[in-house]
Amino acid sequence: MVNNAYLALVIGGILQSLLSPIEGNFSPKFKKPYKSKKDMSAAIEPILKENLNRFVIFPIKHHDLWDWYKKCEASFWTAEEIDLHTDLNDWNNKLNSDERYFIKHILAFFAASDGIVNENLAENFVSEVQYAEAKFFYGFQIMMENIHSETYSLLIDTYVKDEKEKDLLFNAIENFPAIKKKADWALKWIESPSFAERLIAFAAVEGIFFSGAFCSIFWLKKRGLMPGLTFSNELISRDEGMHCDYAVHLHNKHLINKVPKARITEILVNALNIEREFITESLPVSLIGMNSKLMTQYLEFVTDRLLVELECDKVYNSTNPFDFMDMISLQGKTNFFEKRVAEYQKAGVMNKDKDDDSQKISFDADF
C-alpha cells in the first residue's frame, strides 16, 4: 500500500510542474521579469517615468523641447541636394595624395560614427524618454543621422573608384585601429546604465569627437577646394551642433539628478584626449597643411566651451586659434543655426506662430 504522505508529495509535484509557466529552460520555478539597471533611473527622473499620454503630442506640455524639435525640423535636407559635380576635378587635379588619404579616412570615420550615434538613439534614448516632445526630437534626429550616413557613403562612393579600397573604408571600424578606438569608446557608453552619463558621453561624441574632423574640412573650404564636400560639412556640422546643444539643454533643464561636475569633466577630457590623438597623431591634420599644435588648442577650446555650457569650470582656458571657425561657430552662441547655412531653411517652419506680415499672402498689395 502506497504511503499517503508520499502520494500527496508526488501529486503536489505534478500539479506544480503543470501550473508553472513554460520557459525556454523548462524550469518549473517562476522567474520575475528581468529589470535592467537602466529601468532603475526611471524611478527618480520624470522624463523617464512611464507616461500614458506619450502617444499623442497635443497639448504640448514641454514647450522648450517642442521648440527644439521644430528647430530641427526646419533644418531638414537630403543627400540629393549636395552638388558633387565639381568635386571630382578638385579631387583628381588639385589635391595631393596626402590630402586625399586624409579626406578618405575622415569620411570613413564619420560614416561609421553616425551609425553608432543612431544605435544609441534607437536602442536607448527613444525608448527611454517618456516625454512625447523628446521622443519627437530623437525620432527626427535618427532620420537626420541616416541622411548624414548616406551622405558620407555617397562621398566615399564618388571619390574612391577602387572597389577594394572602398570596401575597406566602408568597414573602417574593423580595418583602422585609430577609428576603432574612437568607436569602442562610444560603444562602451551605449551600455552604460546611467541615462544622464550617456547623455553627456554622446554630447562629447557629437561635440568633441566630430569637431576636429569638421574643422579640417572647413580648412579645405578656406582654400576654395571641394565645394560639395564642404557644403555637406556645413549642413552636417550644424545638425550635430544642434544635437549636442539639445543634449546639454536636456541635462541642464530636465534632469533632477545631474551628472556631478567632476564626472562631466572626466568624460569630456577623456573624449578630448582620444580625439587629440586621432587628429594629430593617428590621422594627423599636417597631411592637409594644418598645424597640429593649433588643432590641439582648438580641441581644448571646444571642450572648454562644452564644459561651460554644462555649468562646469574650464580646464584649458584656450582661445580659438582658427578665425574661420570663429566665424562659423559650430556650437556657439552666435546664431549660426538661426542664420542657416546658405540661407537653407524650410520656409515658414519656424515662423508659424509669428505675426509677421512678410509671411502672409496678400491679394490687394501693389506690385
Residues designated catalytic: 152
HSE-CB of 118 using CA atoms within 13 angstroms: 16
Instruction: Give yes or no for a contact between 48 and 41, defined as CB atoms under 8 angstroms apart.
Output: yes
C-alpha cell belonging to residue 328: 562659423
DSSP secondary structure of 192-248: -S-HHHHHHHHHHIIIIITHHHHHHHHHHHHTT--HHHHHHHHHHHHHHHHHHHHHH
C-alpha cell belonging to residue 239: 545638425
Instruction: Give yes or no for a contact between 128 and 195, defined as CB atoms under 8 angstroms apart.
Output: yes
C-alpha cell belonging to residue 250: 536636456
SS3 percent helix, strand, coil of the chain, rounded to 5, is: 70, 0, 30
HSE-CB of 52 using CA atoms within 13 angstroms: 0
